[in-house]
């Protein structure tokens, strides 16, 4: 295998030629230029490999089409096998293909602000807006002022199922990066007496991102920040609890390429164990008659429906009100959300 920098240049060039649809001349010329600091021979090697790839692209594409499904769909074999089993061949293929598409950047305006100019309503949900290609979110008008947060329509059920109203006491137990927290805060306006929102994030780096999001959106002074492990939270009772728990991210692999190849059955079991711990610890904080929303960006039953079935078996004082599984498509991410009451 070539040295690290040279290998990276080859991969970037190949991705531009085969996946990103960059014009051939631009992909090759720019990659060769980027390889020149590695050395003259490295740049020549990159040029030769990419030009051969250009010449033999059709042959390589045909060869790829003959590979096993998990290779063609760029998935760990174990993950493809379970999707094929659980979803069936057609839906599993559609999900895998959608997660191979470059994800669009989507935002949701916070009331009362309009969407930024140039952003079009999302075809699946007009309350969300698609950011133009090649546009940085932080370059849009209104970003610095906190007029919107980056959110995919698949996140909507988690917020809607909370059934938020001003005056409620709310816990967001796994709050970073803060997009859902900001939406919760906006729905609690005008913050009458008794309104309370606790946003918890134990990871120091993610906690700083949460703080930045809430500061940008103008909510930092209203929200109580906490950095405890979610399993150690106290301070109830709360009328509403959002548990947007850590998960295997299989509904957002298009946005999380690291999660795609980090996925293993062992990691799935560990994620499910942690989710069960968080549920057990936070459920007692819910006031009688309150509502707890459990959500993930996973489409795995062990993290979603089976997780809740096991919890409800252990806790007959809780009842399932509603649940929504959203499979990923080329237009939106995948997610799961369910509302429980006590």
DSSP-assigned letters across all residues of 99-131: HTSPPPPEEEEPTTPPPPTTPEEETTEEEEEEP
Catalytic residue among 119, 174, 247, 297: 297
Residues linked to residue 63 through DSSP beta bridges, in sequence order: none
Q: Is the peptide bond before 112 cis (omega within 30 degrees of 0)?
A: yes
Cβ neighbours of residue 53 closer than 8 Å, sequence gap 6 or more: 13, 14, 17, 18, 60
Cβ neighbours of residue 308 closer than 8 Å, sequence gap 6 or more: 294, 320, 323, 338, 340
Of 154, 58, 150, the closest CA to residue 98 belongs to 154
Q: For this structure, is 217 an active site residue?
A: no
Q: How many CB atoms lie within 10 A of CB 90?
A: 8
Instruction: Tell me the HSE value of 26 on the side-chain side, using a 13 A CA sphere.
Output: 6
How far is the C-alpha of 62 from the C-alpha of 64, rounded, in Å?
5
Of 194, 187, 193, 196, the closest CA to residue 165 belongs to 187
Q: Specify the 3-state DSSP secondary structure of 133.
A: coil
How far is the C-alpha of 282 from the C-alpha of 238, rounded, in Å?
10
Q: Is the peptide bond before 237 cis (omega within 30 degrees of 0)?
A: yes
Given a contact cutoff of 8 angstroms between Cβ atoms, the answer to whether 208 and 222 are in contact is: no
Question: Catalytic residues, which ones?
Answer: 297
């Amino acid at each position: 295998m070539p040295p690290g920098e040279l290998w990276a240049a080859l991969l970037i060039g190949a991705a531009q030629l085969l996946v990103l649809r960059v014009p051939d001349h631009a992909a090759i010329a720019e990659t060769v230029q980027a390889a020149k600091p590695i050395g003259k021979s490295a740049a020549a090697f990159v040029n030769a490999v990419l030009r051969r790839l250009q010449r033999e692209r059709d042959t390589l594409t045909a060869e790829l089409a003959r590979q096993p499904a998990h290779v063609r769909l760029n998935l760990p074999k174990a993950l493809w096998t379970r999707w094929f089993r659980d979803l069936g061949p057609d839906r599993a293929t559609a999900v895998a293909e959608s997660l191979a598409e470059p994800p669009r950047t989507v935002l949701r305006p916070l009331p009362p602000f309009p969407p930024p100019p140039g952003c079009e309503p999302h075809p699946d949900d007009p309350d969300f807006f698609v950011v133009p290609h090649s546009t940085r979110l932080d370059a849009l008008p209104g970003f610095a002022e906190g007029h919107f947060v980056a959110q995919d329509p698949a996140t909507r059920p988690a917020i809607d199922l909370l059934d938020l109203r001003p005056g409620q006491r709310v816990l967001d137990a796994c709050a970073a990066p803060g997009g859902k927290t900001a939406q919760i805060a906006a729905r609690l306006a005008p913050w009458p007496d008794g309104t309370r929102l606790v946003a918890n994030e134990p990871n120091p780096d993610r906690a700083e991102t949460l703080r930045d999001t809430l500061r940008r959106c103008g909510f930092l002074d209203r929200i109580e920040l906490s950095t405890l492990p979610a399993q150690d939270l106290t301070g109830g009772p709360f009328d509403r609890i959002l548990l947007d728990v850590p998960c295997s991210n299989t509904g957002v692999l298009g946005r999380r390429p690291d999660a795609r190849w980090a996925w293993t059955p062992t990691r799935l079991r560990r994620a499910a164990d942690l989710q069960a711990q968080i549920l057990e610890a936070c459920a007692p904080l819910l006031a009688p008659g309150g509502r707890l929303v459990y959500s993930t960006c996973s489409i795995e039953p062990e993290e979603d429906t089976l997780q809740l079935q096991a919890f409800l078996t252990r806790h007959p004082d809780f009842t399932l009100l509603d649940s929504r599984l959203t499979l990923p498509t080329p237009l939106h991410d995948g997610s799961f959300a369910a509302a429980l009451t006590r």
